[in-house]
């Protein structure tokens, strides 16, 4: 039934739906396993109005979603690394430089900057180690599953038992990073720049907002597309 479709499935089908969920404060990445109905009840959002917005914004085909959904697991893992992992790697030092300057210059007048700096530092550390584990362990195994499926060959069971084990760890880390960024958004009133703020202050908040938006799509592609595909592949090939 349509009312039972999850948020993650909705965004998987059409990435433009993410805009609607974000506008209403509904988590479509880590919270992607919830149904639209449940999420609307939790957030006290009018479900009929939200569904009408979804219908309007997703009219016509979403070629990006179609391309992503047509990818084999190894191609999708590679796409995530090239688009999202590289973005995180390149952007973290830039944002850290901005925040360091803003905190040192304006921290006395805006005490929330201490929490912003601390939270993003924690996000930077967590994601750096997180992506390393994915690129060195989890993604190569997922790619091996995809290759074995196409070539009709066997794949050895992994040392971590089943792909569900590292996936569970990755999902927990996704949630933790998301929570840290959500706190930043809350204490900055949605990255609202104080009146008269300098350009570095302004660029810092704009960059943080962009970083969070990218992370939402990054996590969605892993939690709601790649990881379920990996579990399905492993079940088919190993049981």
Residues 6+ apart with CB under 8 A from 217: 15, 18, 29, 84
Q: What band does 1 get if pLDDT is binned at 50, 70 and 90?
A: very low
Cα–Cα distance, 70 to 83 (Å, whole number)? 17
Alpha carbon distance 120, 96 (integer Å): 8
Q: What is the pLDDT of residues 62-103, one digit of tens each?
A: 788 888 989 999 999 999 999 999 999 999 999 999 999 999
Note the pTM of the prediction, 2 decimals. 0.89
- What are the DSSP calls for 124-150, one per residue? HHHHHHHHHHIIIIIHHHHHHHHHHHH
Non-local (6+) Cβ contacts of 196 within 8 A are: none
pLDDT tens, residue by residue, 23-57:
998 989 888 889 999 999 999 999 999 999 999 88
**94 and 207 Cβ atoms separated by less than 8 Å:** yes
Q: Is the per-residue pLDDT at 236 higher than 70?
A: yes
Query: pLDDT by residue (tens digit) across 101-145?
Result: 999 998 888 899 999 999 999 999 999 999 999 999 999 999 999
Taking CA atoms, 30 is separated from 112, 121, 174, 179, 235, in Å, by 26, 21, 7, 10, 23
User: What confidence category does residue 2 fall into, taking pLDDT thresholds of 50, 70 and 90?
Assistant: low
């Amino acid at each position: 039934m349509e009312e039972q479709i999850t948020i993650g499935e909705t965004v998987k089908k059409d990435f433009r739906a993410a805009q609607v969920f974000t506008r209403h404060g509904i988590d479509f990445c880590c919270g992607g396993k919830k149904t639209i109905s449940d999420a609307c009840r939790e957030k006290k959002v009018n479900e009929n109005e939200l569904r009408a917005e979804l219908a309007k914004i997703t009219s016509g085909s979403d070629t990006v979603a179609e391309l992503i959904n047509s990818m084999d697991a190894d191609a999708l893992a590679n796409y995530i690394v090239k688009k999202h992992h590289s973005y995180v790697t390149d952007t973290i030092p830039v944002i850290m430089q901005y925040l360091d300057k803003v905190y040192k210059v304006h921290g006395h007048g805006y005490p929330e900057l201490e929490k912003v700096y601390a939270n993003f530092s924690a996000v930077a550390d967590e994601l750096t180690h997180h992506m390393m584990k994915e690129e060195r362990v989890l993604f190569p195994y997922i790619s091996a599953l995809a290759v074995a499926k196409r070539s009709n060959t066997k794949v050895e069971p992994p040392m971590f038992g089943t792909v569900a084990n590292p996936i569970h760890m990755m999902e927990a880390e996704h949630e933790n990073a998301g929570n840290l960024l959500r706190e930043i958004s809350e204490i900055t009133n949605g990255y609202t720049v104080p009146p008269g703020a300098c350009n570095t202050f302004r660029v810092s908040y704009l960059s943080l907002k962009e970083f969070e938006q990218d992370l939402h799509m990054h996590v969605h592609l892993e939690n709601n597309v790649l990881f379920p595909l990996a579990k399905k592949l492993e079940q088919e090939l190993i049981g």
